[in-house]
Structures are given as structure tokens and as C-alpha cells.
Amino acid sequence: MTYFVTGGAGFIGSHLVDTLLARGATVVAYDNFNDYYDPARKRRNIAAALTHANFTLIEGDIRDRGALDAAFLQHRPTHIAHLGAMAGPRYSVAHPFLYEEVNVRATMHILDLARLYAVQGMIVASTSSVYGALPTPWDESQSADTPLSPYAATKRAAELLAYTYHYQYGVPTRVLRFFTVYGPRGRPDMTPSLFVDSMLAGKPITLFNGGMGVYRDWTYVADIIAGIVAALHTDVAFGTFNLGNSSPVELISFVRMLEAITGYAAIIEDKPLPAADPPRTFANISRAQALLGFQPQTSLDVGLSAFWKWYRSEYDI
Ligand SMILES: NC(=O)c1ccc[n+]([C@@H]2O[C@H](COP(=O)([O-])OP(=O)(O)OC[C@H]3O[C@@H](n4cnc5c(N)ncnc54)[C@H](O)[C@@H]3O)[C@@H](O)[C@H]2O)c1
């Protein structure tokens, strides 16, 4: 089996690459190493995979259909994990057209190639952000038609296209809504890295509403990878699945846990919650539990300790 992982050098993608290689698969990672964050980080993410005989790295853009065609012709993937995307919700507010190009149009190219090569299984990465500010806990039967940011809207559009490609062309697509993923190799624009950066530098961290009443359903990256692997191989021809921890933590408790683990104190600066951020994320994961056997294993303190261990080696602390 040959797995084509778009965004394979990113945070989640590189973990998936490592897991698939460890299972004996042939893996092709396709990534454009854009500078949304330091591309050198992405190169470190896949450094170990590059030593593996079953691994191929293609540096290319998913907006470039010619490059994608050539990659598919050469490698003929049996499975696709489409993780490549512009991923930051706040950045999308200032760059909506970029998000449309990468998250919608390019996703159509990947779906189209899945159709042409009759792949056996495909996942499309989506996000809890599609739920906007709907009442929690969120389950997949909710309407998800009031996204708060261009990022969330483009991911929702990609979800709808995934359904259409299943309905019209029989592409076996599973849409996975990830909930605030964290862990080793975590993106530098996400809360765990931003907070630890500031705590180490003695700078204030921005805590929306003082961290009170703001909840996030932190999901450890290894648990997400287990969900992706299950979804790639399920018999469910089309499905939309929440992959979350189903255990939201108030932001102030998150900060206190981070202080305890790192031994550094946080200086808290209070700001109002940005309009692109919902006050609470909370996954109902019954469907993924029932159909994918998904069961998150990692508590926040264990996962944050693993993140901190990685952060120390990454930044030589
Ligand atoms: N990390 C989270 O908490 C989270 C939550 C919900 C959804 N997601 C989704 O999961 C997926 C992976 O996210 P991540 O956190 O690993 O982000 P990431 O930015 O680390 O990974 C995305 C990768 O895609 C690549 N990429 C971006 N545009 C590309 C293009 N035009 N052509 C080729 N490659 C391109 C980037 O270089 C990067 O390596 C994304 O689809 C994201 O929207 C992530």
C-alpha cells in the first residue's frame, strides 16, 4: 500500500508519516514548505523519515495540478491523507483568498486525483472550527453552517466537496474534524508553544477573558494519528467524524498545568476573546468511538509533559 500524505512535513502530517512507515507502508509526503512558520522546523519534522527506504519526499504545491499529476502517475497511491492546508484561523481573517486557494481549490485537485486513481481510502482534515459558536458539546449532526473565520468556512467547503466526490464518483472519503491538537512538533503559532515561549522569556501571555469561561478540548497528537489510521482503513464509505478528547479544560487550568510542568511562571495579560475564536470547544466523539474504534488515551498532563520534553530538546533548554 502506498500512502500519499499532503502536508506531510507539518505537525500532524509528519507524525502520520512516521506511524505509517513504522507499520511497514510506503509513504509519499507532499509539502511546499511554505513560510507560514519556519520551514526549517518542517525539515526537522521529517528528518528521521528521510532515512527510511520506503519514504519519498516531494516538494510541491497542492495548487499545482501538473506537479500533483506527475506525483500520482509515478507513485500511484492507494490511500490519501489530505492534511496540507493553511491552518491558522486568525491569519485567515487577513488572508481569506489564500485560504480559498489552498483549502478549497487545491482540495478539489486531491479529491479529483483520488477519483482518477480509484484510491481505497482517503481522509480530509477538517476542524472543530466548522462548528463556530454553536452550543456544545458538538456532534456531527449539528448544522455547522455558521463558521466564524475564512479558515473555518474554507474547511467546511472542503467537507462539502468531499461529500460530493463520494456521492458522484464513489471516492471513499472520511472527513475528520480535529479538536485543538497538541504535542511534540506542535505548531509555533498554537497556544502551547506561544505560552511557553513567553513564560521562558518572562513576557506576558495573552489570556482571553483572563482564561475564565474559555475552554479547549485538547487532543494529543498520537490519539489523532490513531483516529486517522482507523479512518483510512474503515469500511464506512463516507463519514464525518469528530476526533477530540471530549474533555474540555478551562484556559486558566491549562496555564496552571503548564506552569507546574515547566517550572516557569506565567505573567497574565487579559484581553477580550478574538471574534474568530469560540468560547468553548467540546467534542462528542460517540460516532468515532462506534465506527472507528477511536478512544483517546492521553490525559492533558501526560501530553503536555511530552510536549515540554520535545520543546526542551528542540530549543536546547
Ligand atoms: N493542529 C490543530 O490543532 C488542527 C486542528 C484542526 C484541524 N487541523 C488541520 O490539520 C491539518 C494539519 O495541520 P497542522 O497543525 O499539522 O498544520 P501544519 O501547518 O503544521 O501542517 C500543514 C502542512 O501543509 C503544508 N502546506 C500548506 N500549504 C500547502 C500547499 N499549498 N501545498 C503543499 N503543502 C502545503 C505546510 O507546509 C505544512 O507543512 C490541516 O489541514 C489543519 O487545518 C489542525
pLDDT tens-digit profile of 265-274? 999 999 888 8
Measured from the CA of 155, which atom of ligand 1 is nearest?
A: 43
Burial of 212 (0-12, 13-18, 19+ CB in 10 A): exposed
Helices and strands, number each (H, E), in the chain: 12, 13
Specify the 3-state DSSP secondary structure of 247: coil
Helix (H) or strand (E) holding 122: strand 121-127
Cα 187 to ligand 1 centroid, rounded to whole Å: 9
**Ligand 1-lining residues (CB < 6 angstroms):** 7, 9-13, 31-34, 42, 61-63, 83-87, 102, 106, 125, 127, 178, 180-181, 187
Measured distance CA(20)–CA(54) in Å, rounded: 10
Please report the pLDDT score of residue 200 as a whole number: 97
| Pocket perturbation via mutation, ligand 1, pick of 14, 28, 34 by most ligand atoms within 8 A of CB | 34
Residue 275 — pLDDT band, cuts 50, 70, 90?
Answer: confident
What is the per-residue pLDDT for 211? 87
Ligand 1 atom 23: the closest Cα is on which residue? 7
Roughly what angle, to the nearest 10 degrees, separates helices 191-201 and 300-314? 60
Residue 265 alpha carbon to ligand 1 centre in Å: 30
Q: Is the predicted pLDDT of residue 276 greater than 80, yes or no?
A: no
pLDDT of residue 82: 98
Which of 95, 181, 194 to mutate for ligand 1's pocket (most ligand atoms within 8 Å of CB)?
181
Q: Round to whole Å and give the CA distance between 46 and 17.
A: 8
Q: What's the rounded Cα separation, in Å, for the pair 104 and 109?
A: 9
Q: Is there a contact between 86 and 150 (Cβ–Cβ < 8 Å)?
A: no
Contact between 291 and 175 (Cβ < 8 Å):
no
Task: Identify whether the C-beta of residue 256 lies closer than 8 Å to the C-beta of residue 210.
Answer: no
Ligand 1 center from residue 87 Cα (angstroms): 5
Reported as a single tens digit per residue, the pLDDT across 15-43 is 999 999 999 999 999 999 999 999 999 99
Instruction: Give the residue among 296, 279, 304, 118 at the shortest CA–CA distance from 212.
Output: 279
- Cα-trace Rg, the chain: 19
CATH classification (class only), 2-183+218-245+282-296: alpha beta
> pLDDT category, 117, cuts 50, 70, 90?
very high
CA atoms within 13 A on the CB side of 35: 0
Residue-wise pLDDT for 133-168, tens only, equals 999 999 999 999 999 999 999 999 999 999 999 999
Residue-averaged pLDDT of the chain: 97
197-249 pLDDT, tens digit each: 999 999 999 888 888 889 999 999 999 999 999 999 999 999 999 999 999 99
pLDDT higher than 90, residue 119: yes
Mean pLDDT of 119-135: 96
Q: What is the mean pLDDT of residues 109-121?
A: 98
Supply the residues annotated as catalytic: 151
Assigned C-alpha cell, 265: 511562571
d(CA 231, CA 163) in angstroms, rounded, equals 15
User: What is the grid cell recorded at 20?
Assistant: 505509517
**Residue where the block lists cell 491558522:** 88
Per-residue confidence (pLDDT) for residue 83, from 0 to 100: 98
Residue 179 predicted with pLDDT over 80: yes
The pLDDT of residue 85 = 98
Q: In percent, how much of the chain has pLDDT > 90?
A: 93
* pLDDT exceeds cutoff 90 at 120: yes
- Ligand 1 atom closest to residue 181's alpha carbon, by position in its atom list: 3
Q: Distance between CA 58 and CA 251 in Å, rounded?
A: 38
Strands 173-178 and 121-127: parallel
pLDDT the model gives residue 278? 84
